[in-house]
Amino acid sequence: MIDRNTIPLIPRQVLFGNPDKASVQLSPDGTKIGYLAPVGGVLNVWVGPANHPAAARPVTRDTDRGIRFYDWTYTSNHILFIQDKGGDENWRLYSVDLETGETKDLTPLEGVQARFQEISPQFPAEILVALNDRDPRLHDLYRINIATGERRLVQKNEGFAGFVTDRDYRVRLALRVLPDGGSEMLRATEHGGWTSFARIPTEDTLTTSPVGFDTAGTILYMIDSRNRNTGALMALDLDTGKQTLLAEDPRADVSDVVIHPTEKRVQAAAFTYERKVWQILDQSIAGDWAALRTIATGDVEVVSRTLDDRYWIVAYIMDDGPVRYYRYDRAGQKAQFLFTNREQLEGLPLAKMHPIVITSRDGLNLVSYYTLPPGSDSDGNARPDEPLPTVLVVHGGPWARDTWGYNPWHQWLANRGYAVLSVNFRGSTGFGKALINASTSEWGAKMHDDLIDAVHWAIQQGIANPQRVAIMGGSYGGYATLVGMTFTPEMFACGIDIVGPSNLVTLLESIPPYWQPQVDLWATRVGDHRTEEGRAFLTKRSPFTCAHRIQRPLLIGHGANDPRVKQTESDQIVQVMQEKEIPVTYVLYPDEGHGFARPENRLSFNAVAEAFLSKCLGGRCEPIGDDFTGASITVPVGADQVRGVPEALSTK
C-alpha cells in the first residue's frame, strides 16, 4: 500500500498555469501550423512551418489577459483572434498579416461585442461577423475585409437570437425564441422578408439546433430531438422537406460532428454518454479512423484539417495525462508526434477518473465522474480503503455537462488527499431532453436534490466521509454552492462559490443586453422575473433570501467586470453574512469577468481555496508562497479567516 503522504504535491503552477501549447491548427493550405503558447507568461498565437513546429514564432503581442481563441483565414496568411478588456466580454476582432506582421483591429468599437459568424474558402479575403453596434441587444451581420477592415452590412437584426448562414455568406435562416420558451426557425425570402420554416417546441429547444449546410446549400444538417428523446443527426432536404436520419444514440445527444472541409458532407458523429464514442458515416475515412486508434490511447479528436484533406491534427485525450498532438498524413496513414499540451504533467502521480451512473431519488440516471487520491485504493476496486474528505465540484451552465478526461480540478484536489465527485444533474446537456426538461423550475430544488443524492451515494459506497464534504463550483456551480450552504446548511463542511448568482431576481434583471432575445427561454426554464408571481418564486429559490441559515465556512470569488453575473450578486450575500456576523472570505479581482482568465489570478484564487479547504477538510496544502505575484487579487472581507492570506497580501 502506498503512503499517500509520501506522494509529492503537484505545484499549482503546473496544474493551473498556462499550457505549453493549445488550440493546435493547420493553415488551410497545409503549409503552416498555429497554436497558443505563452510569451512572457501571456498566451499568444505562434505560427511555424507545418513540418517543423519547433521553428514556430509568436505572431501576436498580447501582454495582459492572453489570447484564448483564434482561427485561420483561407488566405493561409492571416490569423484572426478576439480579445476583450478585463473580462467585459465586449470582444474585439483582430487580424494579423503573417507577411508584414501587422495587427489590425477589425472592429474598433467601444462597448460592442464581435462574434464570428462564418469563414469561407469562397471569400478568403472576407469574413462574416456579428456586431451589436447599432443596438446592444441585437447582433447585425457584416462582411469585413481582413486586410483593410472595411465592413458592409449584410443583415439587419430585427429581433432574432441569431442567424444561420452558408459558405456563400448568404443568410439562410433566422432563429428566435417564442414567448412560451420554444423557438422558431425562419427562412429568408427572395424579397428580404422571412417566412416560418420550423417551430421547435419548448421541450426540444435545448436539444434541437441547426449544424450547417451541404456544399449546394440544399441540405440542412440538424441535431433534432423532436419525436424522440435524444438529439439525433438529421439531414433535411430544403426542396422536398424530406428528413433523413444519419446517426442516433438512445442514451446521448450528438456531441460532435466531422464534416468534410470542402464537400461539406457529414463523415462522422460522436455521442458522449460516459465516454465519447464515434459513429463513422463515410467509409472514405473509416481506414483513417482505424489507423488512428492504433497510434495512441485515449479519446480521439480530429481538431484541424487542411483544405485538400491530406493532413489532420489529431488529439488524444487522457484522464491521467496531457493531451497528445499528432500531425497525421492520410496519404500514408502515418502520424508524426508533435508535442503534449503540458509537458510537466509527464511522469507525475496523476489519478484515474472513474465514470459512474448514479440514480436520483426519482429514478433519473445521472452520469457522474469521481477521482480518488493516488494511494487511497490499495486493492484497485475503485473504492478507497477508508472514507475520504470529499469535494463535490458542480459544473456551470447549467446547460452544460461534465465529461471524462484530464481535469485539473480533479487532479489538484485528489493530489491534496480528497475524493472528487462531479455530477451531471438534471438540466445537464448531452443526455436527451427528458433530463433537461426535468430541471424546468427546479433551480434550488430537484436540481439540488440530485447533488445531494450523489453525495449520499458516495457516502454509501465508502468514498466520502459524511462529516467532511465540501461543495464548490463556478457560475451555476457557484449558485449550487450557495444553495448547498443555505438550503441544506448541515450537509456540507464548507463551500467555495466562484462568480455564482445569489439572487435570481437581480440576476435576471441585470443580464447583458444581448441576452434579451433569449429572455423568454430563461423565464420558462428558471422563472419569470417580469411577473409578481414569478418574482416571488425566484425569491424563494434564491440563496440570498436565506443567507442567515449559513452555518459553515464560505469562500466567494468574483470578477468586478462580470457581465453575466454582476459583482452585486456576491456583494449582497457577503453583506448579509457580515450583518449576521457569519464568517465569510470574499476574494475580488478588478480586472476579471465571468471567471478568472489571467493565470496569475487563477493561481492566487486557487492558493486561497487550497488553504481554505485544508482548514475545513484537513487535506494537504501547498503554501501560498509567491502565488499572489502579478495577481490583481483583493480580499475586501475575511482575509484573516484563511491561513497565509494576510501575509501573502502584505508582500504581494
Minimal CA–CA distance to 315: which of 328, 296, 302? 302
Provide long-range contacts, Cβ within 8 A and 24+ apart, for 508-517: 508/538, 510/566, 510/568, 511/564, 512/89, 512/563, 512/564, 513/132, 513/136, 513/137, 514/113, 514/132, 514/136, 514/137, 514/138, 514/139, 516/137, 517/137, 517/138, 517/159, 517/160, 517/161, 517/176, 517/177
Residues designated as active site: 475, 562, 594
Q: Strand 353-359 and strand 334-340: pairing?
A: unpaired
Contact 278, 299 (CB under 8 A): no
H-helix or E-strand containing 315? strand 311-317
One-letter amino acid for residue 246 of the chain: L
Dihedral of alpha carbons 57, 63, 68, 73, sign: negative
Alpha-carbon span 326 to 300, nearest angstrom: 11
Write the DSSP symbol of residue 8.
P
Residues facing residue 183 across a β-bridge: 177, 200
SS (H, E, C) 570-618: HHHHHHHHHHCCCCCEEEEECCCECECCCHHHHHHHHHHHHHHHHHHHC
Alpha-carbon span 569 to 553, nearest angstrom: 18
Contact 245, 234 (CB under 8 A): yes
Q: Compute CA 191 distance to the chain's CA centroid, rounded to the nearest angstrom.
A: 39
Contact 149, 168 (CB under 8 A): no
* SS3 (DSSP) at 47: strand
Q: Strand 419-423 and strand 388-394: pairing?
A: parallel
Alpha-carbon span 13 to 602, nearest angstrom: 10
Alpha-carbon span 82 to 69, nearest angstrom: 6
How many degrees, rounded to 5, is the angle at CA 58 between CA 55 and CA 64? 150
User: For the CA atoms of 486, 488, 491, 495, what is the dihedral angle to 10 degrees?
Assistant: -30
Residue 447: phi and psi, rounded to 5, are -65, -40
Contact 220, 208 (CB under 8 A): no
Alpha-carbon span 180 to 621, nearest angstrom: 50
One-letter amino acid for residue 207 of the chain: T
Cell of 513: 443586453
Count of Cβ atoms closer than 10 Å to residue 265 Cβ: 17
What number of CA atoms fall less than 13 Å from residue 130's CA on the CB side?
A: 17
